Amino acid sequence: MFTVGQRVTLSISAIAFGGDGVARTDEGPVVFVPFTAIGDVIAADITEQRRNFYRAELREIIQAGAGRTEPRCPHFGVCGGCAYQHLDYETELAAKRQQFIDTITRLGHFADFPAPAPAVAAPQPYGYRNKMRLESIRKVSNRGQAFVSYGYCQRDNQSYLIIKECPLAQDCLNELIPKAVNSDWGRQNAKRPKPYPLTLRVTSSGESHFFYGRPPVNIPWLREQLAGEEFSVPLASFWQVNPPVAEELLRTVADWTKDSASRCLIDAYSGVGTFSIAMGSRFQYRVLIESDDQAIAAAARNHEVRQLKCRFQTGSTESQLPAVLAHINARETLLVLDPPRTGCQPKVMDTLRKFPVAEIVYVSCNPATLARDLRLLCQDGLYVPVKSAIFDMFPRTAHFESAVLLRHASAPQDAPTA
């Protein structure tokens, strides 16, 4: 057994979801070590001991594994944002694909699960983000003068790091940071007892915005392009940060469901309606559910301009979905779920077992909560996983997007391919 503070020699055999390398020990418990690569032989200091595992910090690379590269950002390893700048992008994507398979198998208790296809790489591992949120940081200069700057949370989740530019963000956002900080609005914000965070945003057409705290109500809706479609998007509402990868996600979901026999579409956690619109006009009845009242208003506009008849429900999915499914033919319904990182609330799972729909497309940015929810949905064979895919929406970070197609056990399955 190891003790906290002990220096040990370890061999890294895997990379866990979250980015830590995994070393297996003769004693049984594994050791998690950030910023390592498969095949690394390292010296590390044990920093934490738990019942079934240890955590350690890398001190020396004795022998480097495959796929290592030099990080681009000088703050890598201190900033809490990135996990994979020490790996080349091909190695990162392969690790994320394996993490998806391992997480679904282990936490979802699936013995046989469709392998992720496609596994979509990002066209740009850097410079892709169209949105940044920087926390306010009070500092004192060498001359004793107090000032406010902005940055990211460090790995300890307590301290903050001043950021002048972020290599994940589009160039125009990095160029906007000093302009925002030195603007009249920025100077006013700095005088507040507790300054607001700074948010910067750029549209697909290159129109940039910034705001402190909540955006002003008088800013017109943004005009965004995605997969050949134009969308109205309120400045504060959800929009994918990596549009090229988001387009592949929309195309994949549309392709999976193009031959669906379902007559009704429910788009839950709908945002401004991107999935509903990407899936076309073939549905006779559709319902969108969204808790953001500005987003649902924009969704109504986005459907109206396309002459798509739709019912819009403002509220949480757990509060709205039971009533929606109670008044339609659930067995002729395709449901899209795209919840936040925490996954679906238990009431949503209960509703989908009480009123089972024909098909579910579950889109997730957290494979752990996805696995938890899929386990509940597929319990007793009620739903069957048919397809899965991953989309690297967030290169260099520990996160990625995934999608799974489920069918009710009584629904016809895809014909086997030759």
Which of 79, 264, 310, 365 is catalytic? The answer is 365
Write the pLDDT tens digit of every residue in 94-104: 999 999 999 99
The 10 Å Cβ neighbour count of residue 61 is: 17
* 338 appears as a binding residue in the annotation: yes
| Type of residue numbered 122 | A
- Secondary structure of residue 232 in the 3-state scheme: strand
Q: How far apart are CA 290 and CA 285, in angstroms?
A: 17
Q: Cα dist. 287→283, 318, 327, 372 in Å?
A: 10, 14, 12, 26
* 99 appears as a binding residue in the annotation: no
Reply yes or no on whether 365 is catalytic: yes
| Type of residue numbered 277 | I
pLDDT-flagged residues of the chain (< 50): 415-418
pLDDT at 146: 75
* 290 appears as a binding residue in the annotation: yes
For 11-67, give the DSSP string.
EEEEE-TTS-EEEE-TTS-EEEETT--TT-EEEEEEEEE-SSEEEEEEEEEEE--TT
Total H helices, total E strands in the chain? 9, 20
Write the pLDDT tens digit of every residue in 260-304: 999 999 999 999 999 999 999 999 999 999 999 999 999 999 999
CB 189 within 8 A of CB 195: yes
Residue 405 backbone dihedrals phi, psi, to 5 degrees:
-100, 125
Handedness of CA 185, 187, 192, 198 (dihedral sign): positive
93-124+225-408: CATH class: alpha beta
Distance from the Cα of residue 122 to its chain's centroid: 14
* 112 appears as a binding residue in the annotation: no
Q: How far apart are CA 294 and CA 309, in angstroms?
A: 19
The dihedral over CA atoms of 315, 321, 368, 35, expressed in degrees to the nearest 10, equals -30
Q: How far apart are CA 291 and CA 308, in angstroms?
A: 21
Q: Where in the chain is the domain with CATH 2.40.50.140?
A: 7-68
Q: Where in the chain is the domain with CATH 3.40.50.150?
A: 93-124+225-408
pLDDT at 415: 41
pLDDT at 416: 38
CB 182 within 8 A of CB 259: no
Question: Average pLDDT over the chain, rounded to whole?
Answer: 94
Residue 398 backbone dihedrals phi, psi, to 5 degrees:
-75, -10
Write the pLDDT tens digit of every residue in 310-362: 999 999 999 999 999 999 999 999 999 999 999 999 999 999 999 999 999 99
Maximum C-alpha span of the chain = 75
Does the domain spanning 7-68 belong to CATH 2.40.50.140?
yes
Question: What's the full length of the chain, in residues?
Answer: 418
pLDDT at 292: 96
